[in-house]
Chains A and B, each alone.
Chain A
Amino acid sequence: MRGPKMKPNSALKTGLVLAAAVLCLSAQKFDFKNIDPQEWLEVGKKVADAARPMKIDEEIQLGRSLAARLAGTFGVWQDEAWTEEINLIGRTLVPYCKRSNIKYRFAILDTDEVNAYSAPGGYIFVSKGLLKQTESEAELAGVLGHEIAHVASKDVVREIQKSNIWAAGAQVAIAGTDLSNQQEEVLSKLTDASWDQLVVKGLSKQDEFKADQEGANNAQGLGYNPSGLYNFIKRLVPMEKKPGAEIKIFFSTHPKPSERAARLKKYYSKKGWKKDSRPFNKEQYQAFKVEHPVS
């Protein structure tokens, strides 16, 4: 049985009444007569600022702050020989990365946790625990190349720019020699967010896989065997099942080593890299480790 069919005129009337009711309500809620142009302008400016990219000075300022927090939390192992070793490998990798126009700096965190961190602006840290796990220079070059790739791709910066903290504080430039209280406050919040991203949540899986590929590229560019990174990651696979305390943070902030190794293997074959075409510098590295034990 069909219901009564509404006439077109009735439909029009009903529509009009409803539209009028809605408009009436919105007109009551929104006072169009008292629009403050300055207020609207401020809102528009905030929206525009939130969308602006972070400037290089600001990235370095944020990186310094995050680096200081990493150093303050874990401590830094200022061993002369090892500091020179990671700086020699790290800095000579830079010309082969995608963003070589900034200064990259390298230091060793005084912790047995296996991990490496890259703060924006080129502040890169590897841990003593990670150094203990590496068996060749090519492996260390792969790891440092991976961290350089994160900085070069601005992975942390990109995540921060998506955050509400950036949206809220972007109108305040955080660069300069003498920051105001407001700038300090914004910088402090951005450092907390970066810390959370890097040390607690970790970067996205895609960013990690991409950094693996770039890291291998960087090492290969310098002349190391790109399989170094693969070998290092592969060594961590058995720890997946029963991770010790020294690798728990690493596992919680990175994709599974088995997944990373599988993806890298595919990438190597796609690039046509031969397994033993370039040096690993394993013997030299082992000799160095014996001479300068990571205590």
Chain B
Amino acid sequence: MKKILIGCLVASLLGIALMAFPPGKSSEAQAQTKAQPKQPTDESSFWTMFRKTFSRPEPKYKKPTRGVTEVAGVRGMDIEGKLAENYNWQVVSWMENYQLNEDNVMDFLQSRNLGPYQNAGAENEAK
């Protein structure tokens, strides 16, 4: 077991070495690489990546493109124009603007013993 663990450790080290010096490069190319003056490693690039990964990136503010708005102030009119073939947006607006008369609502509830007037139903249930 111990030997297997040692094996894994050695394999990992070997892997890291392989990543740093990937195989496939000819010995000539390696020699050239060695001959070139070593570029100073940019230490800050690691921390830039670290910060970007673990902190919220600055949002990209993009001004939305303005389409032709048929009625100012009404939500989604641009889309409504585009998808008008299969979509009935007038009905949606009608649904959104539909109002019930408050008196009618209270009359409805009272006449049927519903909502705040449901004592009659509750009494029957108690029986």
Question: Which of B8, B19, B75 is within 8 Å of A27, CB to CB?
Answer: B19
A184 lies within 8 A of B79 (CB):
yes
User: Most B CB atoms within 10 A — which of A9, A105, A274?
Assistant: A105
Q: How many A-B residue pairs have CB under 8 A?
A: 169
Q: Which of B66, B73, B79 sits near A65, CB closer than 8 Å?
A: B79
Q: Which residues of B contact A31 (CB under 8 A)?
A: 22
Interface presence of A87 (CB below 8 A): yes
The answer to whether B108 and A88 have CB atoms under 8 Å apart is yes
In the bound complex, do residue B105 and residue A19 qualify as a contact, i.e. CB atoms below 8 Å apart? no
Q: How far is the CB of A117 from chain B (nearest CB, A)?
A: 13
Name the A residues within 8 Å of B118 (CB-CB). Answer: 222-223, 278
Q: Provided the pairs A19-B11, A67-B92 are in contact, do residues A88 and B3 lie with their beta carbons within 8 angstroms?
A: no
Inter-chain contact A68/B115, CB cutoff 8 Å: no
User: Is B11 within 8 A of A20, CB to CB?
Assistant: yes
Q: Is A237 an interface position by the 8 A CB rule?
A: no
Of A44, A105, A277, the residue contacting B121 (CB under 8 A) is A277
CB pair B91 A68 closer than 8 Å: yes
Chain B contacts to A: CB under 8 angstroms: 3-4, 6-8, 10-11, 14-15, 18-19, 22-24, 45, 48-49, 52-53, 57, 62, 64-67, 69, 73, 75-76, 78-80, 82-83, 85-89, 91-92, 94-96, 98, 100, 104-105, 108-109, 112-115, 117-118, 121, 124-125
